[in-house]
Amino acid sequence: MKKTLLSALFCAATLAFTAPSFAATTSETQGIQASPEFYAKANLSALKGKKIGITIQSLRNAYWAGVMAALEDVLSANGAKFTIVECDDKSAKQVAQIENFISSGCDFILVHPSDAAAVEDACAEARKQGIKVMCWDDPMTNTDGNWILNNTNLGIAIGELAGNFINEHYTTDKKAKVAVLGFPQTKILLEREEGIREGMKNVADGKYEIVASQAALRPNEAQTAIETILQREPDCKVVTGIGAGPMIGADEALQIATNGKIPEDMGVFTTDVTKQQLQHLSDPTYPAKGIIGFEGSDVDTATSCASMFALILENKLPEHNVIRGVAPITKENVEKISSGMK
């Protein structure tokens, strides 16, 4: 697959989790840890007849397109009226969208902010008008609830998944050569990358060597990065990364390098959940071995999100910040997750 097509179709879902640099680290944010039991407390009938406005950064990446399609189904099934718009990652446009939601009489607004600071005032005005407001991703102030990730812990989970693989295939005498694909320009992705390093050390210290660390967010960037790394480190067989783009691009590079004959000691480990990642995980001609996902499939995430809506609407959210859970996706459960993708 051509790199330009990879970039266009699979712009890393990691972009969907980008927070502005002013925010406190997500690992420092206090809140309640979500779980299936937590979401089960929600009564989705609270959505019936409610007018809901949703503004997100972009619908043009695989993660958000899938989750929003699933959320439409959940909201429709529970009798809600809703509008979903994208702001094209422009804060001024997003402020205008929130203002439109206010003037149109919405009962509830979900904002996935391009710049959380830029939408604080608009969200405050919504709340003054009696509208419930939820933020997806950032620990905002002027909301009734925030749904966020602890990016350090997410990175640790990726690193430990890779570390367990290293323990299975490498020793202190035969160390794995590891490449780390990060994006330190963005604060939360730097947290995630640092967590990856911590997680690998936690479980496989002394059995690997990080031979390359490179910024690569999109698939074409990751493919180029791994191709370059392999020129000087042909035995680099383990890749960790901060999102979908690094997995998809690294998979392509390593598939080409091996002619699709993936050795058992080669693996790629990242986060995000897109159809292409899951397809790679199921295909033995790709080296994808594990993904740290969130609630599960698109349908699982959408149902959990709708549960947040219901808890907030009924004033039953126990804390302002809800920390999303993470869980591994491997060949053992990929079929189940794939069945709930849009």
CA angle 335, 170, 268 (to 5 degrees): 35
How many structural domains are present in the chain? Answer: 2
Provide the pLDDT confidence category of residue 204 given band limits of 50, 70 and 90. Answer: very high
Residue 304 confidence (pLDDT):
98
For residues 112 and 78, give the distance between their C-alpha atoms in angstroms, rounded to a whole number.
22
Residue 333 lies in a domain: no
> Strand 288-293 to strand 267-271: parallel, antiparallel, or no bridges (unpaired)?
parallel
Give the CATH number of the domain where residue 87 resides.
Answer: 3.40.50.2300
Do 289 and 162 fall within a single domain? yes
The tokens of 197 are what? 């390093």
Do 224 and 288 fall within a single domain? yes
The tokens of 200 are what? 């690998």
First to last CA, the chain: 22
Residue 65 lies in a domain: yes
Do 81 and 52 fall within a single domain? yes
Do 156 and 95 fall within a single domain? no
Q: What is the pTM of this model?
A: 0.83
Residues 111-130: what's their mean pLDDT?
A: 96
Greatest mean pLDDT among 123-127, 149-153, 189-193, 242-246: 123-127
211-260 confidence digits (pLDDT tens) = 999 999 889 999 999 999 999 999 999 999 999 999 999 999 999 999 99
Cα dihedral value 235, 241, 246, 251, nearest 10: 40
Do 276 and 165 fall within a single domain? yes
Residues 67-85: what's their mean pLDDT?
A: 97
Three-state secondary structure call for residue 269 = strand
Residue 176 lies in a domain: yes
Do 157 and 288 fall within a single domain? yes
Cβ atoms within 10 Å of 117's Cβ, excluding its own: 15
Do 155 and 137 fall within a single domain? no
Do 108 and 174 fall within a single domain? no
Do 208 and 161 fall within a single domain? yes
For residues 193 and 190, give the distance between their C-alpha atoms in angstroms, rounded to a whole number.
5
Residue-number span of the structural domain to which 169 is assigned: 151-294
Q: How far is CA 10 from the centre of its chain?
A: 13
Which of 294, 309, 336 is the endpoint of a domain? Answer: 294
Backbone angles phi, psi at 36, to 5 degrees: -55, -35
Residue 25 confidence (pLDDT):
64
- Helix (H) / strand (E) containing 195: helix 187-204
Do 166 and 227 fall within a single domain? yes
Residue 171 lies in a domain: yes
Residue 24 confidence (pLDDT):
55
Q: Are 20 and 73 in contact (CB under 8 A)?
A: no
Tell me which residue has tokens 């794939």: 338
